[in-house]
Structure formats: C-alpha cells, structure tokens
Structure 1
C-alpha cells in the first residue's frame, strides 16, 4: 500500500500494469476504488496510476481549506515522483477539474487530457447547496451517500452496486468532504481554457448534470478538443456502464495522434 509524503499529507496511490502511463483521477467523495472496473481493463496495455485525492480514501484527511490547484499540485508531485513519461490523464467530475488545473499549471506533466462529465466552472443554486449541507450536517454522511447512490445509479437492477457504493461513500470524512466541495465551488477555468496545450477529449453522458451542448459552449476556447456522448448513462458511467465507457475511452486514447499504444 504505497504512500507518498507531499505537500503536508500522505497520498495513497496504486500502480498497475506496464506500458504508456495512464492516470485516472476520481471525483468528489470517491476514491481510487471507484476505478475498479477500469484498472483491470487497461492495465494490460497501460501503466495505470490511481490515487486517493487528499481528504479521500486512505489519504490524509483535509480539514483545512483546500483548492483545486492544491489537488492538481498533488497530482504533479505524484507524476514527478514516479518518474514516468507524461501520461494520458483522465478525470471524472471533480477529477476532471483537477486534470484541467494540472494541464494549465503543469503542462509538461501530461500528454493528453480526457474529461468525463465535468465543466470548467460549477454554479450551484443556493437552495441546492443548503439541502446538501442539511443532509450532511444533520442526517450524516451515510444519508448523503444513500441519496447520491440513488440519483447516480437509478437502475433498480444495480442495487448491489448501489449498496457497495453506499458502504464506501459513507466512510468519507465529513469535514474533508465539505472542504473539497468548497474547493469546487471556488474554482473556475473560464478565461484560461485557451492556454491548454494538450489534446483534449470531453466525454458527456446523455443524462449528466450538464448537457453536451452546454459543455460544447463552455469548452469552445480549448484549441484542440473533441466531444463524445455516452447514451443512457448518468453522471458516473465508469460505474454505471463500465464496458461501454471502457470501449469509448480506449477508442479515445487510440485517437490521439501518435499517443496511444500500437
């Protein structure tokens, strides 16, 4: 169980397979365990690197103020520590925001960028945020985990996976979760996207929080970008439809000129 001491924390990470390096960055309240359907599929051709972002999983708790920039700095330090070639970087939701910040502040740390169901700026209605804080502060992390699992994986046939995710997500540290949420709400890449120099792919689920059309408008300034849509999927296609997601991601990685394995 490797840990890396960086930026005042112990960062838990895992490396599987060999080949072109592929970094997978999870979302809010998640952990490297939520890539369980991707690691076995890609480690046959890639060196797959996952980590628990600060305040998540087995990494140190983050009870002080945080920022997406700080998350990205952690990723840059991890990549440097591993002494790997600039990797393909894939981020989902908050992980996509971290990946964008990595591309903006550490452009030599990656070679391609794949963003799954994320936007360069999150605007939340105050009433929505108040409802989440109420559930978190009054009812607790387990109640929030249940609500999230029901909304993100609505298919009744996925009850076993939902139950597993509830067990996993309810273990989140409440203060670390709030710190990461504030980091998301205080972050924006609007006005900076034209500075991204690596090829970018944006994956949008049909039933994501943000539509494909909205993503196309928001990401328009990115110089080299391609958009893809996953039908039927909600916010977490990596868990909901892993086979379809893995097929699409593999096709995306092969599509980057001169970047994917042969």
Structure 2
C-alpha cells in the first residue's frame, strides 16, 4: 500500500499515471472524508492528467501525529509530499476544507500552483454560526463516537439514498476521524476565517456549488467579493459533494476550465466594472453591519430537540 513518510507521519496516497508527462491534478478531500470518496470522478481525470489523491493528516489511513493542528501544518504536509514525489506544478481540486487548504497553499507557494477548483469551499462563515455548528456537532459526538454525526452530516453532503455504496462510504469516512481531530480542525475556522484568503486570490479559480446546497449557496452569495475573483458555477441536481452527485459533469467543467483560455481580467477603470464592484462591496458592507447589530442584541434560543427525559435548554445570547 502506498504510504510515505511526510514530516512526523505516515501519509497514505495514490498516484495515477505516474510516468505521464501530463499536468498533475491534486484532489484534496473535505473535513471528515478521505480519498476513497474521489473514486467515481478519478477515472475521468485519469484520461487527461497525472492524478494525486491523499488522505490528509488524521483522516482515512493517514496518521494524526502529535503536533497541534494548524493551517500551516496541513499546507506543509502537502508541500512535502509534492517535493518527495518530485511534482513541480499542480492544479488543485479541493472540496470543503480541502478547498480552503488549496487556497492557503497557493498563497504560500504561488509558483507551484497553476489553478484552483473549489468545490463548496467555505467562503463566508460568521463567527456565531461557527460556534453554533460546533456546539450542535459536539452534542452529536458526546458519546465519543462519530457515527451519530456521520449520519447527520451525510444527508447534507450528497443526494445519494441511505444505504447506497457512496452514502455508506461517507459514513465510514467520518468514523475514521477522531472527534478530537475533527473539532481541532473545525476550530481553525474560528482562529483564521477564510474570508481574507479569497480576497488574496491571484491564481485562476473556479468555484462549483451544488444546486441543492443552500448553506454554501448562501455563503458564496454573502461573500460577494468572491465573485470578483472566481468563476462561479452552480452544478444541477447535486448537493454539497458535487463530485459524488455529478462526477462526469463536475469533471467536464473543471477540465474545460483548466484546458481553456485564461479567464478575462476585468478592467475596473471601466464605468460598468467599477459600478459592479461598488454594488458588490455595498452588499457585503450591509451584511457586515447587520451582523454587528445582531451581536449587540440579546437573542433567546430555545432548544426543543433535547431527549424527552431532560428539560429544554434556554440560551440568552449564548448563555444558559
């Protein structure tokens, strides 16, 4: 089995078309997932690219290691793997957390990256939303098992029916990640939100979001500055993991983006482009102002989804 020593861990990876002179596509999975979930889309990439799949630190077959997790640690894991495999330049395809890692890698190692394809990579998360997500997901893992969280998450990741091969593969992937690792990574979004990374993009970037993924559609819309930096496409009949629900179409759009001419760079000196940019920034500022006002109010939250034997919890501005 293809393991390699990367920093302090044994990393599991798969490399297809190793001897080809074709360009390299590196596929980075999302939080709680692993490289097995790329299996349906990999054959399409194999026809045109050298393809590198890997299990990120603490996921799948790759060891967690002992250092505290950080964005830079994950980025350097990827960088060292590329160096060891003697891969000079790459096209990153990243899902969710993997998309955020691809962006961070591109900011630290600009010369290595040729393009970014982001599949439902979080673009904008208010801090309060992250806290609420963490609180809810901690409740689901309070027994020490990831299985309740896995069954809750999978329904928002794919349109695949319960009991299907891919549905079960997603559930299994979550159970291979410890709750400690999962939440340590989730906390990275609190320490360093991804908003600013999108503003710093310089590489050609494609963003794909599923038509049945309302959370990320909203995230991309509210992070409207993103639209100035990427080509955004909505994948029909798909949820969060567009590469699972629509593997062929997702590949075709990514391949067209990689192999096609560079995206036209707008001249913001023109009246039309300048007006469009002003509108986008205005919408963003309105939303930021709304968040600021909400944070200054007292919010009453009643959780009625507690077990029958316990009393419903009542929170007033996050305090019980």
User: TM-score by structure 2 length?
Assistant: 0.73
- After the TM superposition, which of the residue ranges 206-215 and 109-118 deviates more from structure 2? 206-215
The correspondence of residues 1-262 of structure 1 with structure 2, limited to 5 A, is 1-17=1-17, 18=20, 19-62=22-65, 65-123=68-126, 124-138=129-143, 140-156=145-161, 159-208=164-213, 209-211=215-217, 214=221, 217-220=224-227, 222=229, 225-257=230-262
1:250–1:204 distance in 2 versus 1, CA, 3 Å = same
Structure scoring higher RCO (CA < 8 A, sep ≥ 6) equals 1
Q: Is the 8 A contact 1:216 1:227 kept in 2?
A: no
Q: Is the 8 A contact 1:62 1:175 kept in 2?
A: no
Equivalent-residue separation in structure 1 for 2:227 and 2:44 (angstroms): 31
CA apart distance, 1:120: 3.8
CA apart distance, 1:64: 5.0
- Specify the alignment match of 2:303 in structure 1: none
CA apart distance, 1:101: 0.1
Gaps of 5+ in 1: none
Q: Which digits, 9 at most, give the CA deviation of each residue in 1:129-172, with x for residues without a partner?
A: 21100111226211111111223234537734212322333222
Q: Is the 8 A contact 1:64 1:179 kept in 2?
A: no
Q: Is the 8 A contact 2:55 2:61 kept in 1?
A: yes
CA apart distance, 1:51: 0.6
Structure 1 or 2, whichever has the larger Rg, is: 2
What RMSD over aligned residues (CA atoms) do the two structures have, in Å? 2.4
Gaps of 5+ in 2: 264-320
- Specify the alignment match of 2:315 in structure 1: none
Q: Which digits, 9 at most, give the CA deviation of each residue in 1:193-235, with x for residues without a partner?
A: 444332111112122222175266141463xx32211122111
Equivalent-residue separation in structure 1 for 2:240 and 2:228 (angstroms): 24
Any idea what SS the aligned residue of 2:216 has? coil
Equivalent-residue separation in structure 1 for 2:135 and 2:111 (angstroms): 39
Q: Is the 8 A contact 1:94 1:184 kept in 2?
A: no
